[in-house]
Amino acid sequence: QVRSHFGWSSRRRPASARSPQVACPRPMLSRITSAVSAAMGTGDKVDAEDLSKLTVPALKERLKEHSLPVSGKKDDLIERLQTHLAKQATPEAEAAAEAKEEKKEEAPKVESKKEEAAGDSEMKEAAGEAPAKEESKPAGSATKEDKGEEKEEKKEPKDEEMKEEEEEKPQEPEEPKELESDAPADKRTRIAAGAVMIGNASDSTLNAMPVNGGRVLMALGDGGFQHLAAAARANVGVMSGRYLFEVRIVESRHIHDAGKVKPKQNCCLGFSTKGSSLFLGDGSENVGFDSDGHFVAAGEWSQNRVSDRFSPYTSLYGVLLNLEPSSPNFNTVSLFCDGVRVCEPQPLPESMRGKPLFPTVTYKNMTLHINFGPTALAPMPFTCRMLADAAVADVQVAKPEKATSAKHEVLFPVCLPDEGTFDWLDGFLRENSRYTELSNRAVLNWGVKTGLYRQRSAWPSCNDKPSMDFGIRELDDYSFQGSIQSVAPMLERDYVVMEIRNNLIAEERKKTLANFDSESFKKIAVVIMGEPPADFKAKTYKQLLDEKKKKVGSEARRKKEVEAAERKEKRRIAEEEKEKKEDDEDEDSKEQDVKEEEPQEDIEEVVKKAQDAVELTEEEKANWFPKQSMEDLAKADLGRSFASFTIPEAAEGFDEVRYAWQDAKKAADYLKAWISERKLTQRVEDLQPGSRFHEQYHEWGQLFQDWRRKQGERRDPVRTKRVAKKRKVQEEKKQDDEEKEKLDNEEKEKPDVEAEGKEGDAKDEEKKDGDDEGKQEGEKGADVEKEKDDEEEDEEEWSEEEDEEEVPWYARQDVLWTIIGIVALAIVAVLFMHSLSGSSTPAPTPTLAPQPLPTVAPVWTAPTSPPTLPPTTTVNPLLPKTRLHDNNICQDDEEMYGSLCYRKCSLLTNNTHPIRSSSWTCCSNHPCEVGNTVGKVGTSLICQGYDVNGAGKCPTQPGACFTNEELFLGVCYTKCSVLTKDQYPYRVGAATCCVTSGVGCFDIRQDATSPNFLAGGGGGDGDPSTPSMPHAPLTNLTEAGGVEVTTAPPDMTGPGGVIGTESRCAADEELYAGLCYKTCSIMTNGQYPIRTSSWTCCASHPCGTNQKGSIGTSLVCDGFDVGGSAALEVLGSECPHKPNPCNSTQEEVLGMCYAACKLLTQGKFPHRLSANTCCAETGLKACLDPSKLSMSATYNAPR
């Protein structure tokens, strides 16, 4: 009986009542019972002529009923079914003969019993106990025996009716007969004892540890190994016959890990082909039963379980492979638990048939006991041979590859990036399977085959150091390589250490060589540089030719389909014209024209001809290396280290240096030329500015701030007028001082005609001079005091004049606050009306009578994509000065982050923290943490601190405008200063310029509006490089060729949604203010189902005091401010997230998807203004005209 842990438990019967056959699961019972009953009946006893009349589907159904393979031609199906029915006929005849013999043996026993009963009756008569004689009874009366016979005769028809009714009732299915028969005696030669092994170096992973001669398989469980599956394959493969191997789970380790991804315990038992993947479920050449009860074949997992979960410690699981052609279970694999079948025989995929199949085990955080025989640990319901007891003719023993030396080899490929490095490695590993690759790429593939979920990442990735993104610390930060470097030298294996950058630098090579001792390993450097061999070139040319053929074929197919569509349209038009004509002659001539139409060539033939004509050009053949979807080495790492690349030497510690492509001299020359070329073109990442640059940069910053201050003073008309008046007074005062000083100098220069030459009056003169000096000092002091008094009087006069000046109404403080309040109330009102438009009861739809559209002036519509700039040879003065080949679509002093251009962190932090980690923070190196991150938010949080572009303003979209243009609301317009000759230099709208900036432009007297202001900076000469209409910033101006910037929507596939049937949010989420939150009905158990803010929910409208809220402990992403099930998948946290984008027939307004106005109004009002309003033109000014608006409640529809 099946054990209770498989879900089909039943009470154990006594041994005498127990059937020798094995109980199977209920689905299998019904299927096998129907097959056996059908075979035992007369329905399948048909001759070959009847079977030949059946169709192939009918034959396959018959075969399925008997659990037989359904592959092959019709004759094969008939022969297979006849053979099976003939085999079943023999057991039926034997059973019938046995039944007859049993009846013959029972007949004498019955006769002897009757004789004994007759003797007893005679003895009773002799004792006087005989019954009354029949003569004493009345003549008309009958004896009791006669009456009994009459009653039995009456009951006979009733019994027959009951039997017929019982036959009509459906009978319960009997226990099925096991289709697997006992293994016949086999005298063929067996394989040697101990020949079956598992866990060889070439057929196992690094963390698989065979113990006790391969009978026990353990797995490493620390340092990152606990998250990766271990796998091992046996060295003996089954080619024919029926063989079994057994596995017991002796340990299931529960490892405690602080990370988000917790290690799990599972295993999978099955078979795989030689050279295929070690992981069951990866690839098309393996089958297996996993511990969760599912079956996998050729990479496809069963949707339903075929058995219950595995039970560790006590249960013993056997995997049976049947490759006997005469067996009804030919080419199948089955699972047994403690000798009891737990699932139906599962067919092998076509890709595995006819090939040797090797037992394979994949497990994680478990210890397994493997039993290959020769004796089974659990008795089976039929005799079956184990794999260790297999015949030599039925199996294939995989021989290990011969090593070239007594020591194990460690290869260090030395190859330049993007020059066929990993292509060479893949080919080498296919030819030398005994080598194990040690690289980050191998770790990534290992994690993917294990089944780890890989998250999306915005970090740049390369083949040498690909971004793992598993959410596991040891794998994501590459610290797992340390665990591999400590384990690999202990195992007796051959390795290929594949690290492009480290293998090219001498110091890094020495560090890696130190991990492998010279006694056990032979260290070999393989230099792969220069011109590759012919076979490598042939593979590259084939790849280039296939890509070129595919491109040409798709283009030829597209053209042919367009021509077919045009012909179909012409034919349709011709038929319509033909129906309108009444003249018979015209109809006859038209029919003749149609009949004379030439037959068209088949599309597939056209595509084949186009592809056959494709050939590679000489320029394409000059490319020796195939194209890759990902670069081998990141450009930043290449720029910092390419100057240190060298060719390895034996003095570094290598036992041998091999040159795979070219000799040592040519390889050295090739590397030297390669480095020289990179010095001319490669960006130097580690270049640091000197002290002189910092001093000049500081001086320039101060000068720039002074200019900005003066510019700000110039923009304020009131302040400008006051400063000009003050400057004029200062200039007048300066002129007066200069004139006074000039007069004093003239007086000093006059000759002293009154001076007398008397020497006796010297004392008088000295006294006089002293008096004059005192008088001059007194006059100077009086002048200083007078100047101070004059300045105070001037300031008082200025203040009085300022008070007396008429201040404009828009400059008054009370007016400014009033205007700000009105604008704020208007914004709140608009948002409130928009929020009501999506949930209020729709108003009755007004009936719009068809009327001609009003004639309006053409209004420019922003192009959907920026025009492409063709290459030019002359310098265009309109083009900004920037580097076009630095892979940066922003300005030279800006960097791309989150689809916006910010000022480079290296400039903001003097290159101390060059990596931008958010809009306000920068970090010094990866991974960005709290310790290596700095930030600045300024005083207004937005557009200050580090949240600025290269000009110190708000971050902008990628690209640039022309030099005579200005950016306004994300669109490039011609500068107002150019259009108005500096009369209205400030742009405040698409078609409006103003005298000043700020709220002063609310005064319409300060504004100038004209359609001529809707212009771009180009000349309008038809040249796409100089567009004359407003346009989005052009990425072609900041990077050669331009780059299309897109933001991938979050990948949410949850069912349901909040708008129609669109899955904008997950089923447990609702859309509010453009974000997906967890539904209020779930968080409040349906008591407050209406969301009113990020932290509050309402019971019913109107929402007042009937609300409930929660902010949690951290205010943000806590309480009611959380997302649903999709939040963890999209953001990796519980924060609300953006919804899925609208489809192609919808448009988004305030985070809501509405049906496109263009479709609703048949193109008459294609621009949506609000939930219920569509407009004929774009722009708020144009839509203020009621004649250009169309309002209807039907527009407020999600589809």
Give me the DSSP letters along 884-947.
SSSS-SS-TTEEEETTEEEE-HHHHTTTSS-EE-SSSEEESSSSP-STTEEE--TTTSSSSTTS
When mean pLDDT is compared over 136-140, 149-153, 876-880, the highest value belongs to 876-880
Query: What angle (nearest 5°) sits at the alpha carbon of residue 1039, between those of residues 1038 and 1042?
Result: 110
CA geometry: angle 431, 437, 440, nearest 5 deg: 140
CA distance 1165 to 939: 43
User: What is the phi/psi pair of residue 652, to 5°?
Assistant: -75, -15
Which whole number is the average pLDDT over 821-846? 51
pLDDT at 579 over 90: no
Say whether 533 sits in a helix, a strand or coil. coil
Please check the confidence at residue 1044 and state whether its pLDDT lies above 70.
Answer: no
Average pLDDT over residues 661-670: 89
**In whole angstroms, what is the distance from residue 330 CA to residue 63 CA?**
12
Q: Are 349 and 336 in contact (CB under 8 A)?
A: no
CA distances from 211 to 230, 233, 252, 370 (A): 14, 15, 16, 10
Residue in 1074, 1099, 1096 with CA at minimum distance from that of residue 1086: 1099
Q: What is the pLDDT of residue 4?
A: 33
Phi-psi region of 215 (alpha: psi -120 to 50; beta: other; left: phi over 0): alpha
Residue 783: per-residue pLDDT: 55
Give the residue-averaged pLDDT of 1131-1154: 77
Higher pLDDT, 596 or 1142: 1142
Of 117-131, 147-161, 357-371, 529-543, the range with the highest mean pLDDT is 357-371
pLDDT band at 1045 (very low <50, low <70, confident <90, very high): very low
Confidence of residue 432 (pLDDT cuts 50, 70, 90): confident
Among 420, 218, 245, residue whose Cα is nearest residue 317: 245
Q: Taking residues 532-551, what's their average pLDDT?
A: 85
Report CA-CA distances (Å) from 660 to 500, 512, 527, 669, 801.
Answer: 16, 21, 6, 15, 91
- Give dist(CA 1096, CA 1107) in Å, integer: 7
Crossing angle of helices 534-580 and 421-431, rounded to 10° = 110
> Taking 90 as the threshold, does the pLDDT of residue 764 lie above it?
no
**Would the pLDDT of 719 be above 90?**
no
Instruction: For residue 1072, name the pLDDT band (cuts at 50, 70, 90).
Output: confident
Confidence grade of residue 805 (pLDDT, cut at 50, 70, 90): very low
Other beta carbons within 10 angstroms of residue 766's beta carbon come to 10
Q: 968 falls in which pLDDT band (50, 70, 90)?
A: confident
- Under DSSP, the state recorded for 503 is H
Q: Please list the alpha-helical segments (H only) found in 459-533.
A: 473-476, 480-487, 500-504, 506-513
Q: Where are the alpha helices (DSSP H) in 143-211?
A: 144-168
Angle between helices 480-487 and 440-450 (to 10 degrees): 100
Joined together, the tokens standing for residue 284 give 């098309």
The pLDDT of 1103-1121, averaged and rounded, is 81
- Does 120 have pLDDT greater than 90? no
Which pLDDT score is estimated for 636?
82
pLDDT band, very low/low/confident/very high, at 357 (cuts 50, 70, 90): very high
pLDDT at position 10 over 70: no
State which amino acid sits at residue 408: H
Containing 288, the helix (H) or strand (E) segment is strand 286-290
Whose tokens are 């011709």? That residue is 574
Residues 395-422 have a mean pLDDT of 84
Q: Is 159 helix (H, G, I), strand (E, B) or coil?
A: helix
Closest CA to 205 of 263, 278, 265: 278
**Predicted pLDDT at 16:** 35
Rg (CA), the chain: 47
- Give the integer Cα–Cα distance in Å for 1064 and 1087: 24
Please state which of the ranges 314-323, 519-528, 939-948 shows the lowest mean pLDDT: 939-948
814 pLDDT band, cuts 50/70/90, is: low
* Whether residue 104 has pLDDT greater than 90: no
Q: What's the helix, strand, coil split of the chain in %, to 5?
A: 40, 15, 45
Is cis: bond before 347, omega within 30 of 0? Answer: no
Say which range, 835-839, 1098-1102, 1193-1197, has the weakest mean pLDDT: 835-839
Cis peptide, bond prior to residue 374, ω within 30 of zero: yes
3-state secondary structure of 190: strand
Q: What is the pTM of this model?
A: 0.46
Q: Which pLDDT score is estimated for 175?
A: 53
Query: Which pairs from 255-258 meet CB under 8 Å and 24+ separation?
Result: 255/221, 255/222, 255/226, 255/365, 257/226
Tell me, what's the pLDDT at 147? 42
Statement: residue 544 has pLDDT above 70:
yes
- Answer for the pair 207, 257: CB distance below 8 angstroms, yes or no: no
Which of 77-86, 358-367, 977-986 has maximum average pLDDT? 358-367
Q: pLDDT of 865-875, one tens digit each?
A: 444 444 444 45
> Once rounded to an integer, what is the mean pLDDT over residues 549-562?
86
Q: At residue 467, does pLDDT exceed 90?
A: no
Peptide bond into 532 cis (omega under 30): no
Percent of the chain clearing pLDDT 70 (strictly above): 70
Q: Which of 223-232, 933-942, 1050-1059 has the least mean pLDDT?
A: 1050-1059
* Rounded Cα gap, residues 243 and 823, in angstroms: 84
- Residue 164, pLDDT above cutoff 60: no
- Give the model's pLDDT for residue 952: 83
Residue 241: pLDDT band by 50, 70, 90 thresholds? very high
Q: Which pLDDT does position 337 carry in this prediction?
A: 93
Question: How much is the mean pLDDT over the chain?
Answer: 74
Given pLDDT bands bounded at 50, 70 and 90, which one contains residue 76? Answer: confident
Give residue 335's pLDDT: 94
Q: What is the spatial distance between Cα 1136 and Cα 1151, in angstroms, rounded to a whole number?
A: 13
Which of the residue ranges 65-79, 196-210, 534-548 has the most confident prediction, judged by mean pLDDT?
196-210
Most confident of 188-202, 269-283, 674-688: 269-283
Q: What pLDDT is recorded for position 90? A: 52
Q: What is the 3-state secondary structure (H, E, C) of 939-953?
A: CCCCCCCCCCCCCCC
Average pLDDT over residues 406-415: 89
Q: Which residues contact 1095 (CB under 8 A, 6 or more apart)?
A: 1109, 1110, 1111, 1119, 1120, 1121
Contacts of 43 (CB under 8 A, 6+ apart): none
Q: Between 602 and 974, whose confidence is greater? A: 974
What is the reported pLDDT for 750? Answer: 60
Q: For 678-695, what is the mean pLDDT?
A: 83
Q: What three-state secondary structure class fits 215? A: coil
What is the pLDDT confidence band of residue 271, given thresholds at 50, 70 and 90?
very high
Query: Which one has a higher pLDDT value, 460 or 336?
Result: 336
pLDDT of amino acid 526: 92
Split at pLDDT 50, 70, 90, the class of 551 is: confident
Higher confidence at residue 506 or residue 113?
506
167-207 pLDDT tens trace: 444 444 455 567 888 888 888 999 988 889 898 888 899 98
Answer whether residue 5 shows pLDDT above 60.
Answer: no
Give the three-class secondary structure for 163.
helix
- Integer Cα distance of 1160 and 845 in angstroms: 13
> pLDDT-based confidence at 1156, cuts 50/70/90?
confident
pLDDT of residue 779: 54
Each residue's pLDDT tens digit, 983-1021:
889 888 888 899 888 777 877 778 888 878 888 887 665
